[in-house]
Structure 1
Amino acid sequence: MRVSVPTIPQSLFAANPSLNKISAAEAIERVSTFLSPGNVTLITGAGVSVDSGIRAYRGQDGRYLNPNYKPIFYHELVDETEKGHLFRQRYWLRSYLGYPSVREALPNTTHYAVAALQHSGVAPRLITQNVDGLHHKALSLSQPSPVHMQESILELHGTLHRVRCKHGHLTDRTVFQDWLSTANPKWKGFADEVEKEGEQLRTNPDGDVAIEHLGISYSDFVIPECPICLQENRHNNVHKPDLVFFGESIAEHVKKRSYLDVENSDRVLLIGTTLATYSAFRLLKHAVELKKPVLMINVGPSRADGVEGVEKLDIASGEIMRQVVRNTLQNRGLVVDPLVEEMLSSGIRKPPPTDDDDRAPRAAG
């Protein structure tokens, strides 16, 4: 089986990004005008979470930030042979060490601006490719109900915050982390020491960490068995996060809802995505086919570049989205209520260090 990591056409790398450059003031005006009619569906990608310290998959030139990054594919993770077990040891050790940084990440200004647009009814539907749960944290200020969250946010690729065994039993990720700690006291001690020393392991886009440079072996990492499967008199230690891996298909009900979210909108705004994965790119194509107005905010090339009917602004969302919300509400004759004001006053802007040379040779990860 040959499965590759999704990317964008190489021809787009040669495009002159300065042609799409726009000042913050111009971008704020353009996006506010676009949003003001309302009934907008938002589609967000990894670029939205960069200001929360979570690396995106690709840099400003559209290429992978770490050229040696090699994610584990779906067929490798669920392979029940000894080779598959080795893949799972590798995945779960790295994810065990990397997950706390995702769990503790805070929403940034764009997350809260998006939440304000949802709370105000301007953008009732949000489709996110992100698996970090930060949109949920931001929206929880106004919609603490899990049911409302599910209605307001569609996680196109799932979430890191749940784990599912091969027989479908679902476990909260924090509980699963505790299982891993109990089964691996040595690695629990290593993780505690890293935290105590204030070290920062380099987190990859899907929440795991690169540790090969430390000379670490995965062979002694123990993956616990599913306790519910044990109650059903069967042994099973094949688990995966409740997200879509490279090479895995999106669930049909998620695909159908994503199409409906586009169809039920009057316009579509994309933020912080290169649309390299077809699951997201086909939503843009669907919107264009339906002749919906489409606006995109993203730094660097994307798969949407040159698509007729798509307007793109080359600017970071964190520079503009707070003021975009204020202008949009003003255009609609709405008062910024205290809760929206709280949202627009919240959020961090703490991107990964700029001195971290992602292009430097690294151990494959």
Structure 2
Amino acid sequence: MRISVPSIPLQSTRPPAAHVSAQEAVERVANFLRPGNVGILTGAGVSVDSGIRAYRGSDGRYMNPNYKPLFYHQLVEDSPAGVAFRQRYWLRSYLGYPAIRTTLPNTTHFGLAALQHAGIAPRIITQNVDGLHHRSLGLSPRQRTDKILELHGSLHLVHCKHGHVVDRDLFQNWLSAANPQWKAFLDETERTGNKPRTNPDGDVAIEHLGTAYDSFIVPQCPSCMLEDRINSVHKPDVIFFGESIPNAIKTRSFEIVEETSRLLIIGTTLATYSAFRLLKHAVELHKPVLVLNVGPSRADTVEEIERIDIASGLIIRDVVRAVLGSSASLDPTIAHMLESGVVKPPVDDTLVQQAADPR
């Protein structure tokens, strides 16, 4: 079986999306939204202002040239190699999850939440697994809501191979109890602020530590033990490379495109086909599509759509005010949303912080 990491075409028959002024971008996006009943599809670029790195830079290439994602079959395989893959994944995820857990929604999350509250954009489909769209609506990232469809799942739940589901915070505690030396290391990074580089999926880069993963213990599932089974195969509720999206999620994503009148795509290169096919579906249905993204994307190959090259965080509040008019200030919920949101983009991606190896 050969599975490759999705990439985007860096050449297109269309010229790149033109850089426009913030004022022009506000007018164009507001005009697109005004008719209402807009479906929104978001990607990693939406969470950058919250401090979560996007996978790709402005040229469309992976920002971490050494990026080697774990594939689904590697994570779940029943073999010594599978055990090693799970040790590697869960150690890196254990160190990275606290940063995801404490991350706050940014101005784009709250701007889109305001559009949802006003009924302009009733549904959001997100490729992100960070739960920040939920938080901008005042929901727990573990809550299910028909307002947000998580196309690729969520980091905030974990399930074993026999289907027992636990809250990620509880699973994090299990990992801490099983690995006290790494709990001490994590506490030290929190105390000093000398934290490893965190990726959008909660994984961290720790190659510079020269760390061996074979001492990390992935705990047994307590529910399986009660059923007289020994099982330490756990997986976050996230779609891995090489794993199929559940049919119910796939079907619902198509239904949202069909139910809405137009599609706004924000902060994604659409490299994964699960997202790109939603754009294609909207085009096949002759629905207007606007892509708001920095740099090249797979959308550049589609003639029928409109594109704007600008970061959503630079314009989203003004877009919402332009669309909603006086209600943007008179509705207390919307007014609060438009005053909320962090703007804390990650530090220079080329900087790798050093830390002591706790082995």
So what's the TM-score if we normalise by structure 1? 0.93
Q: Which residue of 2 aligns with 1:237?
A: 232
Q: How much has 1:45 moved relative to structure 2?
A: 0.2
Q: Which residue of 2 aligns with 1:9?
A: 9
Q: Is the 8 A contact 1:89 1:218 kept in 2?
A: yes
How far apart in 2 are the matches of 1:192 and 1:306?
47
Q: How much has 1:9 moved relative to structure 2?
A: 1.2
Q: How much has 1:15 moved relative to structure 2?
A: 7.6
Aligned AA for 1:219?
A: D
Percentage of identical aligned residues? 63
Aligned AA for 2:345?
A: P
How far apart in 1 are the matches of 2:89 and 2:232?
13
- Alignment of 1:352 with 2:346, yes or no, is yes
Q: Which residue of 2 aligns with 1:21?
A: 19
Matches within 5 A, 1:64-213: 64-140=62-138, 149-213=144-208
Aligned AA for 2:314?
A: E
Q: Is the 8 A contact 1:98 1:203 kept in 2?
A: yes
Aligned AA for 2:234?
A: H
Q: Is the 8 A contact 1:99 1:208 kept in 2?
A: yes
Q: How much has 1:86 moved relative to structure 2?
A: 0.1
How far apart in 2 are the matches of 1:293 and 1:336?
30
Structure 2 unmatched ranges of 5 or more: 353-359
Q: Is the 8 A contact 1:40 1:265 kept in 2?
A: yes
Q: Is the 8 A contact 1:57 1:64 kept in 2?
A: yes
- Alignment of 1:323 with 2:321, yes or no, is no
- Alignment of 1:311 with 2:306, yes or no, is yes
Q: Which residue of 2 aligns with 1:340?
A: 334
Matches within 5 A, 1:45-56: 45-56=43-54
Q: Which residue of 1 aligns with 2:241?
A: 246
Q: How much has 1:310 moved relative to structure 2?
A: 0.8
Q: Which residue of 1 aligns with 2:357?
A: none
Task: Give SS of 1:305's match.
Answer: helix
Q: How much has 1:357 moved relative to structure 2?
A: 1.8
Task: Give SS of 1:168's match.
Answer: coil
Q: Which residue of 1 aligns with 2:258?
A: 263
How far apart in 1 are the matches of 2:351 and 2:71?
22
Task: Give SS of 2:337's match.
Answer: helix
Q: How much has 1:309 moved relative to structure 2?
A: 1.6
How far apart in 2 are the matches of 1:76 and 1:24?
45
How far apart in 1 are the matches of 2:154 and 2:59?
27
Q: Is the 8 A contact 2:10 2:296 kept in 1?
A: no
Q: How much has 1:151 moved relative to structure 2?
A: 0.8
Q: Is the 8 A contact 2:135 2:141 kept in 1?
A: no
Q: Is the 8 A contact 1:163 1:241 kept in 2?
A: yes
For residues 334 and 135 of structure 1, do their structure 2 counterparts lie closer, same or farther at Cα, with a shift above 3 Å needed? closer
Task: Give SS of 2:125's match.
Answer: strand
Aligned AA for 1:167?
A: H
Q: Is the 8 A contact 1:163 1:171 kept in 2?
A: yes
Q: CA RMSD in A?
A: 1.8
Q: Which residue of 2 aligns with 1:31?
A: 29
Task: Give SS of 1:42's match.
Answer: strand
Q: Is the 8 A contact 1:326 1:336 kept in 2?
A: no
Aligned AA for 1:269?
A: L
Q: Please list the CA deviations of residues 219-263 of structure 1 after superposition, one character each: whole Å capped at 9, or x if unmatched.
A: 110000111111111010000000100110000000000000000
Q: How much has 1:192 moved relative to structure 2?
A: 0.7
Aligned AA for 1:240?
A: K
Q: How much has 1:150 moved relative to structure 2?
A: 1.5
Q: How much has 1:200 moved relative to structure 2?
A: 2.2
Q: Please list the CA deviations of residues 310-334 of structure 1 after superposition, one character each: whole Å capped at 9, or x if unmatched.
A: 1000000000001100111129x77
Divergent runs of 4+, >3 A: 14-17, 143-147, 333-336
How far apart in 2 are the matches of 1:197 and 1:146?
30
Q: Which residue of 2 aligns with 1:278?
A: 273
Q: How many residues align?
A: 352
For residues 145 and 157 of structure 1, do their structure 2 counterparts lie closer, same or farther at Cα, with a shift above 3 Å needed? closer
How far apart in 2 are the matches of 1:298 and 1:145?
25
